Structure 1
């Protein structure tokens, strides 16, 4: 018991430490130290017309290789535009070599920003036709030698935009200064989406081509190039800091919260009107839609503040993470309990059933911890990809684990229907358990595969359809499960439970 309490205390403590990790959300601040990755995904954002993106690279330092040995196409950034996640990007066209080493193709809307450390310049390359890609406008720092006032803060600064735009309209290489202070480099730029044709999903990457260009060289003579980077990114649509496909989410979550609250209220009414046929599992099922409703409300509030100010209010974010954790754990525990037949078919869980819960509950805690870390971590950080893989793997393991109790119950009922005198009731239960198994498989398949495929295929401004379909699938699953296991005297599950109680009373006599 002491070990269990210590485990619970440690888990709760870890959870709250993770909850209070500061998240910059749409006002990004990424710090990388001694990184060796060839490609770093800094951000993906969907822009409407009049949206803007501002990038401020405060510090970039390179170690392990002399600056003189790094040419102008080794370190840099790429910015490309697609209509959705499912369409090929500029990076997909050249996975066998570094994209900075090739001339941008006219088939893609892309801009390369190459850092030339020898001449302290940023060279810009693009093959996009005029007007198809936003003009990249450099922002120069204030200098004592230059009396001209330079605007740095807001991308809407019209005077600076005009003065820089005349230079950047040429499709040939365009250069602007790269600040160098004791081999620590910095520069700033921004762009405005000014036309409908420039709308789209923009992917921003940092590239380190030194390791990829050295593949054909003698391995014994190679050195490892590490880089340290600090960068600020601000992106905003005309009336929201949310990406184009996320702008409808606050209203969507509020509406779905109302639906879940409604079915929870209806379920409680059913339990009160048929109190004689109600079991403990029914009240556990009643808590699920209300917990889901609260989680959606807090999620909507979280997105509302992100939409208005670019980052969440810490208190609301913490409350959302807590309700999300409770909802996830309660969902899988309820599905597993129903699958074991607890309170319907049997009143005591077997050792085999208990082992399932010993697996599912820790996995659910780990999955929710991974989700919280992902939500509060920048995409470009080295641990982001690791936690994404952990979340995907653990979620699949949880989905697979909750199917075992249903399969065991089906086998148990098949054997029971052939050995005892309650074949009709057992066969009716067997039919319902098979239906429930199909329901779980369809729910998992749709929310984990079909909905994600839709998210990849649809245009960037319709990405919210993924969340809509996911919530509708969950709502449908809740309604069907409640209908199958509703308290009623003619329910085959309850019939067997009543018969078993009568047999136990006769045995006692």
Structure 2
């Protein structure tokens, strides 16, 4: 069951990558979207950062020409909801006239005026000096062209001019004409001035102005489709922050039925100086690689312990070692993936696929291991009860579904409907999995409580009971810190320290692995198999061997009390706690 679910998850991962998106260079495409507003992208900008927005196609169906569509760009300190947007849940934000003397919020509105075919820009006081760049002569016909814009140095280089003059001299003919080097040099010198003028004219077409100086700029319209392009430059320290870009459809505010649907195709490019990562993600490649080394070192130490006490090791100890190494490789591939996103703006599919596969296997194996430890399998029993088997039938597919939902979230755009849907699925399923792993531990605690009151091995069962209670507290703390505290940390810390939530989560996981390994390490003194030596009334059970083939085989040793008549001792049956 577990293997089939994991293979299904791997197949879905490979299928998703046929429709993968690029890292921090986003391509959003929506058809017949009726939401009143949605988040397009969220990114932390430092000084020198730049946001490029290119709307290739924007079309809509509305009943009147006064309908308002557009974007809002707001800034916040942390990853919580923007305060200004939070107060406009029932009213379209684009309908407001921002007052330049209001310093309580930071926001820019880009409102499409349908009749005039322009984008009206309205900025708050704090964004009045923010630089907005727009290209007047942007040609929507060539919006998918891969040609890059050359700078003045490239346009006036000798190699470029030689190639250009050669093309002009050829005139489309297949006959090669020999041009004397001296004549070429003269033409190069004469061309430098012309090309400099052409470059100056091109730069004039792309104007950069402060937000307060930009009232509106034209858009291109073809039929019922609009297209435009603009950029926002973070040129000062006072403007750095966590920026959220929203799209608004004012026709659907306060309506039970969608009055208007939108078709939108756009490209968003976000970049900080020297990296495509958000400000809070810049340290993540180094953090993931460092934690990968830490988990790998812990795994090597665990293997050393198993080899040193091979006769005391159970099968589950090897399973725990495999889990640590899967976690290490998952972090390694995650760090490499973030490195390429930082450098290129998109991930390399090979590394991303490796990360998702190891992440999926690690997630499934983690919950399997926790459930097996919670049931006491291989320690105090070797057969699972029917209700414990049902836990596996439920928890493994749910965990695979949770990992698939997380992968779809990573591979979809923030503005897509499926991104929001799968995020809700992930939260719900992950909480169900976390709750399900507690049931076997609670059952074991209940059985040990009953056994400590009914049989003659109260001391041993009480010691086992303390260990299970300790493990239960560890599980609850692990879930609480990695799910709730990490989320609270994410929405409260400043945007440039968002990496702390990932560091905190992985550090807590490492600590949890170490504590679990310490409590359930392979040793003859483990409370699972140790009996009290002080009670003369208790029978002794000596472990013959604890290898994988003969685990659970014991020989009975009579009580040292010579007056004791009974010669038969009781063993812990494998079904004792079923």
TM-score, normalising length: structure 2: 0.79
Which one of 108, 112, 117 corresponds to residue 120 of structure 1?
Answer: 117
- 1:312 counterpart SS class: coil
Which one of 25, 40, 64 corresponds to residue 27 of structure 1?
Answer: 25
> Max radius of gyration: which structure?
2
CA deviation profile, 1:160-201 (whole Å, cap 9, x unmatched): 48973457433xx70100111111100000011111001000
Q: Which runs of 5+ in 2 are unaligned?
A: 140-146, 153-198, 532-540, 544-551, 558-567, 572-578
- Residue 502 of structure 1 and its aligned partner are, at CA, apart by 3.2
- 2:57 counterpart SS class: strand
2:26, 2:269 within 8 Å by CA — same for their partners in 1?
A: yes
How does 1:417-456 map onto structure 2 within 5 Å? 417-456=452-491
- 1:416 counterpart SS class: helix
CA distance 1:311–1:398, shift in 2 (3 Å): same
1:210, 1:225 within 8 Å by CA — same for their partners in 2?
A: yes
- Residue 223 of structure 1 and its aligned partner are, at CA, apart by 7.0
CA deviation profile, 1:364-388 (whole Å, cap 9, x unmatched): 1101110111111000011110000
Structure 1 CA distance for aligned equivalents of residues 10 and 349 of structure 2? 18
Structure 2 CA distance for aligned equivalents of residues 338 and 329 of structure 1? 15
Aligned to 1:137: 133
- Residue 142 of structure 1 and its aligned partner are, at CA, apart by 4.7
CA deviation profile, 1:231-285 (whole Å, cap 9, x unmatched): 0000100011000000100000011011101111111111111112111011111
- 2:19 counterpart SS class: coil
Aligned to 1:319: 354
- Residue 139 of structure 1 and its aligned partner are, at CA, apart by 1.6
Judge which range, 5-14 or 461-470, deviates more: 5-14
- 2:318 counterpart SS class: helix
CA distance 1:154–1:227, shift in 2 (3 Å): farther
Say whether residues 1:164 and 2:216 are aligned partners: no
CA distance 1:227–1:166, shift in 2 (3 Å): closer
1:81, 1:89 within 8 Å by CA — same for their partners in 2?
A: no
CA distance 1:167–1:6, shift in 2 (3 Å): closer
Structure 2 CA distance for aligned equivalents of residues 18 and 110 of structure 1? 35
2:402, 2:429 within 8 Å by CA — same for their partners in 1?
A: yes
Structure 2 CA distance for aligned equivalents of residues 187 and 60 of structure 1? 9
CA distance 1:330–1:7, shift in 2 (3 Å): closer
1:250, 1:301 within 8 Å by CA — same for their partners in 2?
A: yes
CA distance 1:335–1:425, shift in 2 (3 Å): same
Aligned to 1:251: 286
- Residue 8 of structure 1 and its aligned partner are, at CA, apart by 6.8
Q: Which runs of 5+ in 1 are unaligned?
A: 144-150
CA RMSD after TM alignment:
2.8
Structure 2 CA distance for aligned equivalents of residues 26 and 471 of structure 1? 24
1:36, 1:226 within 8 Å by CA — same for their partners in 2?
A: yes
Say whether residues 1:224 and 2:259 are aligned partners: yes
2:329, 2:358 within 8 Å by CA — same for their partners in 1?
A: yes
CA deviation profile, 1:7-53 (whole Å, cap 9, x unmatched): 77655433421244312120000000011011121000000111101
Structure 2 CA distance for aligned equivalents of residues 507 and 358 of structure 1? 37
Aligned to 2:34: 36
- 1:493 counterpart SS class: coil
CA deviation profile, 1:72-129 (whole Å, cap 9, x unmatched): 6x21100011111137432112222111111235211100000011110100111224
Aligned to 1:94: 88
- 1:348 counterpart SS class: coil
Aligned to 1:148: none
Structure 1 CA distance for aligned equivalents of residues 426 and 204 of structure 2? 43
Structure 1 CA distance for aligned equivalents of residues 21 and 481 of structure 2? 30
CA distance 1:7–1:431, shift in 2 (3 Å): closer
Aligned to 2:303: 268
2:9, 2:360 within 8 Å by CA — same for their partners in 1?
A: no
Structure 2 CA distance for aligned equivalents of residues 457 and 498 of structure 1? 55
- 1:486 counterpart SS class: coil
CA distance 1:456–1:446, shift in 2 (3 Å): same
* Count of residues in correspondence between the two structures: 488
Structure 2 CA distance for aligned equivalents of residues 28 and 12 of structure 1? 25
Say whether residues 1:174 and 2:215 are aligned partners: yes
Structure 2 CA distance for aligned equivalents of residues 367 and 135 of structure 1? 42
TM-score, normalising length: structure 1: 0.90
Which one of 230, 235, 248 corresponds to residue 207 of structure 1?
Answer: 248
- 2:125 counterpart SS class: coil
CA distance 1:442–1:164, shift in 2 (3 Å): same
Structure 1 CA distance for aligned equivalents of residues 352 and 331 of structure 2? 12
Say whether residues 1:301 and 2:353 are aligned partners: no
Structure 1 CA distance for aligned equivalents of residues 349 and 271 of structure 2? 21
